Amino acid sequence: MCGIVGFVSEKEENAGKILFDGLRKLEYRGYDSAGIAVISGDSINLEKEIGTLDDFEAAVDVDELNGKIGISHTRWATHGGVTKLNAHPHVSQDGNIAIVHNGIIENYQELKNDLKGVKFISETDTEVIVALMQKEIDGGNDFFEAFKKVLNKIEGSYAILAINARQPGVMLAAKNESPLILGKALGKMFAASDSMPLLMHTSEVIYLEDGEIAKLMAKSFEVFDLKGNKIAKTISKIETHIESSEKGMYAHFMLKEIMEQPNSLKRSLQQPYGDVEEFAKAISQARGVMLIACGTALHAAIAGQYLLDRIAQKHVNVINASEFSYLQTSLQKNSLVIAISQSGETADVINALKKIKQKGAKVYSIVNVEGSSIARMSDKTIGIKAGPEIGVASTKAFTSQLSILYQIAFALIGKLEEGRKEMDKLSGLARLCLDMNLDKTKALAEKLANKRDIYFIGRGINYPIALEGALKTKEISYLHAEGMAAGELKHGTLALVEKGTPVIAINPNDFVHAETLSNAIETKARGAFVIAISDKNNPVYDELLSIPGASEEFYPILGIIPLQLLAYQLAVVRGKNPDKPRNLAKSVTVK
Ligand code: F6R
């Protein structure tokens, strides 16, 4: 959470514009305030505003911010409320050093106590770093030495960029547990929280690892460890088309990404056979298999548990990454853990994987962002190829994660080729499903817009789809939504169903159809307004969001589509921005 971008160039540039355009690509990481610091002449030119980047743009003329070096930040508040003073960059009291930081400095209170005489103007942990930097420089250290000393004092997670008006040709960067990537272009070096701001300038990137410090000059860079020893780094090439991270004709990224699913599903099938087969082999040889993830990816993992069971008769455990440390005793050297993550940067997953690796278990991963931390720390990784997902609510990544899990299940029974042939039809079916539901969900959203609660029910593999439908709805429309196994209703939640309560039954024509229908009828008997997601209608339903008929095992990929659309339409009808839900950010890089 929080996005940072910085650059250093050999020539004078429209630094404000370069940095602002970079922040635009990272706005999904935080959007409560933003700031830019550029060195102009021999001083730091600082601009900060609270609100989104649109607010920033309205208040600041970025074209006026010229310079050869600058840093910028879009914030998701952790320490200190959303105020201009708490927004980044933070500047030292002498006005010479500016830094941006993504992460949390855990020992900042103790460090603050040692900085007697410094007048702090913000409530942030970050201001302590800049104050320490000034103290080290005042004590006779050069910029790099001061940075290194400060990094050795701070504890916690960070991706930091620092500039110094007294040494304007150098930007310093460091990371621990928060993402940071360097980009090398002609006569310019960049650093950013992910590759998207870099892609506008270069495809050559350098992945910084935890405990590394980078010294960036316009035409060269050096990387060191925290003791100051030089580290050799390789330059990697990344390929993502910039246009795929633009909104195009759509009102919101979320809608664009929902509508992209016919294509992203097709791309998810373009995995080398060997990679999928290696996952299957590792699963069949492992002593125990655990799928680990958070949020939407966790729902994909739960669906994976059902589909691996049904297609390949293989049992896997699923664990929520933030709960992993409390349940890790069964892990052994020959256990296999498969992490699922869109961003590949989720702190809860990364922290769990570190412990898993210490235990000697194998780590495989299914990620969307190539070269992400989770991909890099895995023994083997599969990229889902969904393309950039900018909307905070995960949509196309979910269906592509499911697609990979299906392929692994088919590989486990030696039927990857046949399975893929069947799955090839999913792209067309997804398109049909979108056409069938785009307008219908809009009309339904108008009916549901002022309800208090919505319940989502499903059995078997439709259960994680109920969970995912509820998560999508609550996170962007702010309506209370709860997803559950349909059989669980009568164990408590049914007490909340009264006249008019919307109950959405994910009930395709599969082997649990009749049982879920009975549960829907039970809610109807208590006055519920029953909506079904199905390819088979029934008079009990007040509304039907149709999905096309498909091979039974693939219903989840189609079943989630009307729910994504409905959540989107609910947010829009209720006047909320689906791309930027309050309090949330796309990459959750804090614990
Ligand atoms: C919900 C959503 C989140 C993420 C979760 C994990 O729409 O996007 O619940 O799924 O934060 O993120 P990744 O997949 O990046 O690890």
Cα 69 to middle of ligand 1, angstroms: 33
Minimal CA–CA distance to 305: which of 294, 322, 326, 319?
319
Cα 139 to middle of ligand 1, angstroms: 44
Residue with CA closest to ligand 1 atom 16? 341
Residue given tokens 């941006």 in the structure block: 100
Cα 399 to middle of ligand 1, angstroms: 13
pLDDT at residue 78, as a whole number: 79
| Cβ–Cβ < 8 Å for 214, 221 | yes
Sequence-ordered list of residues with C-beta below 8 angstroms from that of 283, at least 6 positions apart, any chain: 289, 308, 314, 316, 336, 338, 408, 412
The answer to whether the 3-237 and 245-424 domains have the same CATH topology is no
pLDDT at residue 244, as a whole number: 67
| Cβ–Cβ < 8 Å for 365, 374 | yes
Which residues pair with residue 482 across a beta bridge?
Answer: 455
Q: Which protein residues are within 6 Å of ligand 1, measured from CB?
A: 294-297, 341-343, 346, 349, 393-394, 471, 475, 588
- Provide the whole-model pTM: 0.83
pLDDT tens string, the chain, 591 residues long: the values are 789 999 999 999 999 999 999 999 888 888 889 999 999 989 999 999 999 999 999 999 999 999 999 999 999 887 788 899 999 999 999 999 999 999 999 999 999 988 888 899 998 989 999 999 999 999 999 999 999 999 999 999 999 999 999 999 999 999 998 999 999 999 999 999 988 899 899 999 999 999 999 999 999 999 999 999 999 999 998 876 555 667 878 999 999 999 999 999 999 999 999 999 999 999 999 999 999 999 999 999 999 999 999 999 999 999 999 999 888 777 888 999 999 999 999 999 999 999 999 999 999 999 999 889 999 999 999 999 999 999 999 999 999 999 999 999 999 999 999 999 999 999 999 999 999 999 999 999 999 999 999 999 999 999 999 999 999 999 999 999 999 999 999 999 999 999 999 999 999 999 999 999 999 999 999 999 999 999 999 999 999 999 998 887 899 999 999 999 999 999 999 999 999 888 877 777 667
- What would the two tokens of residue 131 be? 């104050």
d(CA 382, CA 405): 11
Ligand 1 atom closest to the Cα of residue 392 is: 8
The CATH homologous superfamily to which domain 245-424 belongs is Glucose-6-phosphate isomerase like protein; domain 1 (3.40.50.10490)
Longest dimension (CA), the chain: 81
Minimal CA–CA distance to 257: which of 248, 380, 103, 107?
248
Residue with CA closest to ligand 1 atom 7? 393
Show me where the domains of the chain are located.
Answer: 3-237, 245-424, 435-578
Cα 401 to middle of ligand 1, angstroms: 12
Q: Which of 256, 266, 362, 586 is catalytic?
A: 586
Sequence-ordered list of residues with C-beta below 8 angstroms from that of 114, at least 6 positions apart, any chain: none
Phi, psi of 471 (to 5 degrees): -60, -45
Ligand 1 atom closest to the Cα of residue 343 is: 15
Look up 433 and say whether it is catalytic: no
Residue with CA closest to ligand 1 atom 4? 295
- What would the two tokens of residue 124 be? 């942030």
Ligand 1 atom closest to the Cα of residue 472 is: 7
Laid out side by side, the sheet with 212-216 consists of 90-91, 97-105, 156-164, 171-176, 212-216, 221-225, 230-231
- What would the two tokens of residue 327 be? 């349940």
* CATH class of this structure's domain 435-578: alpha beta
Q: Which of 2, 149, 362, 472 is catalytic?
A: 2
Sequence-ordered list of residues with C-beta below 8 angstroms from that of 323, at least 6 positions apart, any chain: none
Look up 247 and say whether it is catalytic: no
Cα 221 to middle of ligand 1, angstroms: 33
Minimal CA–CA distance to 533: which of 452, 450, 468, 451?
468
Rg (CA), the chain: 25
pLDDT at residue 16, as a whole number: 94
DSSP of 44-84:
EEEEEEES-HHHHHHH--GGG--EEEEEEEEE--SSS-S-T
* CATH class of this structure's domain 3-237: alpha beta
- Best mutation site among 1, 320, 350, 588 for ligand 1 pocket (most ligand atoms within 8 Å of CB): 588
Alpha-helix runs per DSSP H in 322-395? 347-358, 373-376
Reduce the DSSP state of residue 586 to 3 states and report it.
Answer: coil
In the Cβ-directed half-sphere of 51, how many Cα atoms lie within 13 Å? Answer: 9
